[in-house]
Amino acid sequence: MKRGNGTASREAAKPLAADWHAQPIDQVCDRLRTGLRGLESGEAAARLARHGPNRLPPPRRRSPLLRFLLQLHNPLIHVLLGAAAITFWLKDYVDAGVILGVVAINALIGFIQEGKAERALEAVQAMLASHAMVLRGGERREIDAADLVPGDIVLLESGARVPADLRLIQVKNLRLTEAALTGESVPVEKGVAPVAVAAPIGDRDCMAYSGTVVVFGQARGLVVATGAATEIGRIGALVSEVETLATPLTRRLDQFARQITLVILGLSLMTFLYGHYLGGMPALDIFLAVVGLAVAAIPEGLPAAVTISLAIGTGVMARRHAIVRRLPAVETLGSVGVICSDKTGTLTRNEMTAVRLMLPGRTLEVSGAGYASEGGFHDGARAIDPREEPALQALARCALLCNDARLHEDERGWTLAGDPTEGALLALALKAGLDPEMAAAAAPRLDEIPFESEHRFMATLHHDHEGHVFVLLKGAPERVLALCRHDAAGRPLDPADWHARMEAAAAQGQRVLALAQGEMPAGTASLAMADIAPRFGLLGLVGMIDPPRPEAIEAVAECRRAGIRVMMITGDHAVTAAAVGRELGLRVERPLTGEAIEGLDDAALRQRLGETDVVARASPEHKLRLVAALQAEGRLVAMTGDGVNDAPALKAADIGVAMGLRGTDAAKEAADLVLADDNFASIARAVREGRTVFDNIKKSLLFILPTNVGEAGVILLAVFAGLALPVTAGQILWVNMVTAVTLALALAFEPAEAGVMRRPPRPPAEPLITRLLLARLVYVSLLMIAAAFAVYEWELARGSGVETARTAVVNMLVLGELVYLYNVRHFTANAISRDILRGNPVALWVCAILIGLQWLFTYAPPMQGLFQTRPLDWTSWALILVLALAKFLAVEAEKWLLRRLHVERM
């Protein structure tokens, strides 16, 4: 293979992509003008400018005009458009114009919100942009996958999504899932040997194509195509699609709206027939009344309010590091009853620190914190010089060389590229005085067996330039101890003593790793699983701590107050898990282990889960059983995960939560929610926001349905009682139009209720319209109808004209809805408080806008001519204000009664 640095200035403008799989590695390197060290930064930047970013062309968007026209595609709008056409044909241009105004405003709201939702989802996709580990100038770097260019060398590991089309140059037990490209779900083994030019994509064993996923092993590959030039780009298949706004809740609401539409159409037909044939009303008058009835009764503003609530919730969660990949997760979060969380990095800091070395015959304490090299070693109170301790040096060398992590120091301090446990071991080696470059040069790595959850260790093969070949091993203590026959000094192992020391460290919350060394025959150049046999010498144990995050401790307490059970599921030793769980306030008396799970049937497992909040030594298969057992109890389960093997459990859970920083692409794809900061507190905040979103949707229902029914009830009562209509069709259309664009949308911006995290989760099977909500609907509707007729009759009784009385009724309806908005901002809490004017500035603004519109409606001459309104005197306004206040107090009285009955939500 050519060993250049890739800085040659000559390069084809566009690499030929048809036959990379048929060419030897050296020829591929020559064509791409690159080498083992990868590209230099300057050359990579130049190629990026020539080839463009490594991303697929965005999907074709619907034009703004088409998006607007599609807002008219629903049964309700069809009914309104039909009514507008008929009224226009009847030359009633004013009412036809008002009807079209209602349609246009609703379509405009949907059009604007759909555009905002698309932009929000695009922003979420940008936040979830994948990364790639590459070699640049011989150094490992993590870069945005969009910055990859032809000639880059990409490093692959289990769980990673292949970021571009790669010609593989080194592989180790590599298997890929190519379902994204070929549809074949069975993982395929990969190699480096070229294949025939005519080989189909599925048989190109030396290629790793963009969008496929590594399920096992490691590899290095040369980027041969990026962006639209990749195989998946050429066939036009996108790896991921923009999420649609269809959710279970919105589907239920759409169905609910269609049902109401049918009911209202039937009721409108009955009203028309009764009013025209039995009541003797002129056909045009009764028809316009029926149109007003239909527009008043159907909650056409509800879908917009729901979509806005979901979009606002998604944006708030994203700002708080919880990125929603699937919108149904927003509403489901409000019902989560159990959160099963990883320990490391989620409940803890993910900054492991080695604090104890258990060497043969002695134990040393280690000072210092995090990944910094500052610190030392102590035997009791006595400081130890690590350079004078051969056993310590041997263990530190193993910790340094059997390690894939890298530490870098910059202005922010020490940062880690790799696994936190390996970072702690690197920091330990630095404290012992080892130089990483010198140690690697003195004992180069020949081969390796990467860590996998199935075998729970990592092994590396080295030589010392003098014919001495050896294996360094690190992993779970039980696994490594079983492979050791003696300690580093050659003495036989005392397993009981080592287990006692291990458990003493674990009891203090320390994670314990074992390190060992084994000799290999001279000339050995490769390492296989068969070489990992009981032949090693134990170098010692390392105890590390990963302290709980302070914010996670508070978040766990908040979840428990909210009736949400928090479970910690970890691969750590049971005693270690219990120590951390104790600090978090979890039940740790009888921690459950993976081994115990395997011996329990489903019923026994459910019983054991009721006794503890800690599950240790759990495998991905165990997580699946835990999810099923908790769901069998009728709970909605959120499960966290970061590995490719966690994907089944993430999909099985009601809410899958992936780690954004350390999670694999496979885990992120399977998840509904991605934590950008890997912090458990972000889950708790997301649950809080999910409850808030659902509350605001219920508040929108609680506001829109009673007001719509009340408006429709005014018309129905007048028709069936043989009374003159208190409002015209045009006026009722005006009421719906102005309140739909103001009051109905304000509730989407409501902050969380004071007790939102002090109540149990919402039952998953709870209906959309509960009995309490239905009772509120009927109660408020009757209050609105009574107030409207009281104003109408009072105005007529004092000698006012019909136009004046109708103007008063319209203002009564609007002001009644305005005060009801403040009633419904809290389900049962008292609205008469200082908070009435705080918390939701949007509500204040829309009320001010509504008052301005009503002033124009009542006093502006053009509006008076359009809607047949008349100016009102102060006496009329006084009555309207008194009745609005009485309605406000009547609803507050009902809420007081609900508080006495200890009802907190509808």
Q: Is 471 exposed, middle or buried (0-12, 13-18, 19+ CB in 10 A)?
A: buried
DSSP-derived letter for residue 244 is P
Tokens 């049918």 belong to 262
Residue in 205, 342, 419, 665 annotated catalytic: 342
Q: Is 904 exposed, middle or buried (0-12, 13-18, 19+ CB in 10 A)?
A: middle
Strands (E), 244-352: 322-324, 336-341
- Say if residues 738 and 101 touch (Cβ distance below 8 Å): no
CB atoms within 10 A of CB 235: 9
Q: How many helices (H) and strands (E) does the chain have?
A: 31, 27
The rounded distance, in Å, linking the Cα atoms of 364 and 382 is 10
3-state class (DSSP) for residue 578: helix
- Say if residues 560 and 585 touch (Cβ distance below 8 Å): yes
Nearest-CA neighbor of 360 among 545, 490, 504, 509?
Answer: 490
- CA dihedral for 308, 309, 314, 320, sign (positive or negative): positive
Tokens of 317: 């969660």
Tokens of 885: 């206040």
β-strands 336-341, 322-324: how paired?
A: unpaired
Strands (E), 565-706: 565-569, 592-593, 614-616, 636-641, 655-659, 673-675
Q: For residue 130, which phi and psi values (nearest 5 degrees)?
A: -75, 160
The rounded distance, in Å, linking the Cα atoms of 136 and 5 is 9
Per the annotation, the verdict on 342 as an active-site residue is yes
- Identity at 224, one-letter amino acid code: V
Tokens 């159990």 belong to 338
Helix, strand, coil percentages in the chain from 3-state DSSP, rounded to 5: 50, 15, 35
Nearest-CA neighbor of 121 among 301, 227, 246?
Answer: 246
- Identity at 384, one-letter amino acid code: I
Tokens 């349609």 belong to 103
- Identity at 558, one-letter amino acid code: E
Give the H/E segment covering residue 99. helix 93-127
- Say if residues 164 and 230 touch (Cβ distance below 8 Å): yes
The rounded distance, in Å, linking the Cα atoms of 99 and 814 is 18
Chain Cα centroid distance, residue 202: 33
What are the residue numbers of the active site?
342
